[in-house]
Amino acid sequence: MSSNRVVLTEKDRYLTQIEKIAHSSVLHGSESLCKLLRYLARYSLDHPGVHFKEYQIATEVFGRSSDFDPQMDSTVRVQVGRLRQKLHEYYSSDGAEDSILVDLPKGSYALEFHRREPGAIQKDTARQEVLVRPSEATQRHWSTVVVVLSLLLVVAVAIIIAQRVAGGRNSATEAAVSDSPAALRVFWKPFASVPDEPWVIFSNAAFVGRPETGMRYLDAARDAKTKTKILDHYTGVGEVLAIHELDRAFASLHRQIVVKRGSLLSLDDVKNNNLIFVGSPAENLTLLDIPGTQEFVFQRLSQGPRKGDLAIVSIHPQPDEPKQFLGTPNDLQLTDDYAVLALVKGLNPARSELILAGTTTLGTQAAVEYVCRQNTVERLLLRLSVSPTGELEPFEAVLHVKVTRGVPLESELVALRKGTRQ
């Protein structure tokens, strides 16, 4: 009886610790990670030594369908990696003094629980238990009461501590971020001032052919009958350098980003995250299915001397603006490109989307560099609208990019619409 009661109490304490972590400032607002944490905890405690399956987590936690393929959908690996990082962050801040450690080892989906050495309060309690020896029946009764009250007390104290620590931690975070450029803090506030990391979605269009003999974009109508192998794991050099630039910008804000290729993005991901799209809808195909730009849209020309070229079309051109923004023709060395910068509301209005895309990969690189560097962001903010609460209002803009020997060297804002999507 005594042994069984101790095991049950230990499990309850572990689950209480899980709730404390879930209610902490580190996981505040991250419902998907809290759900994953609770699921892994209960399964690890109920089935010790049993290995998790990625398929099991995908279908039971994230609602993926029965045809879930982990080779095509990395949701579980990404979310588990985020949870592992959040646990490290929790125990270096809110949970620095906790007596129970929860760990998610790399290469495993099973949680591990460890007890720290008892403190002085626990030693005093043990000494009192030796001095006071009530009758066995009374002891059983009161031990049950004490366990229940202890659990309730731990939960109550955890909530109070979490609320107080959250205030202190937020102050510390604000102090750390304050040493970054003010312009970057204002521009990136929709993505850097929330608990969850923004997702950077880079384009990786579908190709056919072989790298050693030549590849081309997939033509759905042309290639449907030939059953040609599709390659969807390539992206441009501009996208690679752009992600590096974004990582540096967010590091200066003491934040991190989550990077995912466009072909693996689901609509659930779109609803649950703030997104930064790197690359145009011509290659970042998810942009075709979700709210995007309204004033400046990408279109591949179907007629005329530039037939087949990708252009940025102005839906409501101003008197001093062209109807189309076209870079260097495809058959000539690239010297001019155009790119779109757009902040819009997401599929979930509570989320934000930033679209950074050129008609070529170098235009995309230039668009990202423009919003990651202090001097250009300062110039951009002078022309944008900021609400009284410091929120950047939606906008769409077009950049003219000068390219020399494959490097974007100069970018100029040539068109702007403010408040395009409320």
- Where residue 406 falls (left for φ over 0; alpha for ψ -120 to 50; beta otherwise) is left
Q: What is the pLDDT of residue 150?
A: 53
CB atoms within 10 A of CB 54: 17
Name the CA radius of gyration of the chain, rounded: 27
Q: What is the pLDDT of residue 6?
A: 42
**Ordered alpha helix ranges (H), 253-390:** 267-272, 361-372, 374-381
Residue type, 196: D
- The widest CA-to-CA distance across the chain, in whole angstroms, is 98
Q: What is the pLDDT of residue 173?
A: 44
**Ordered alpha helix ranges (H), 92-204:** 120-131, 136-177, 182-187, 189-192
Residue type, 62: F
Q: What is the pLDDT of residue 176?
A: 43
Give dist(CA 348, CA 192) in Å, integer. Answer: 18
Pairing of strands 275-278, 324-325: unpaired
Domains of the chain, CATH where assigned? 2-176 (no CATH), 183-418 (3.30.379.10)
Q: What is the pLDDT of residue 303?
A: 87
Q: What is the pLDDT of residue 312?
A: 94
In three-state secondary structure terms, 291 is coil
**Token pair in block for residue 125:** 């309690």
Q: Could you give phi then psi for residue 239, rounded to 5 degrees?
A: -65, -40
**Token pair in block for residue 279:** 């690359």
Burial 115-125 (b: 16+ CB within 10 A, else e): eeeeeeeeeee
Cβ proximity of 199 and 275 under 8 Å: yes
Q: What is the pLDDT along the chain (422 residues), one digit of tens a residue?
A: 444 444 456 888 899 999 999 999 888 878 889 999 999 999 888 888 777 788 889 899 988 888 887 777 778 888 888 899 889 889 888 888 898 999 998 878 889 998 876 553 343 333 333 333 334 444 444 455 445 445 545 545 455 455 554 555 444 444 444 567 888 999 999 999 888 899 999 987 778 787 777 878 777 667 766 667 777 777 888 999 999 999 999 999 999 999 988 878 888 888 889 999 998 887 777 777 777 889 999 998 888 888 889 999 999 999 889 999 999 998 899 999 999 999 998 888 889 999 999 999 999 999 999 999 999 999 999 999 887 777 889 999 999 999 998 899 999 999 999 976 44
Q: What is the pLDDT of residue 359?
A: 93
Cβ proximity of 72 and 125 under 8 Å: no
Q: What is the pLDDT of residue 164?
A: 52
Q: What is the pLDDT of residue 21?
A: 93
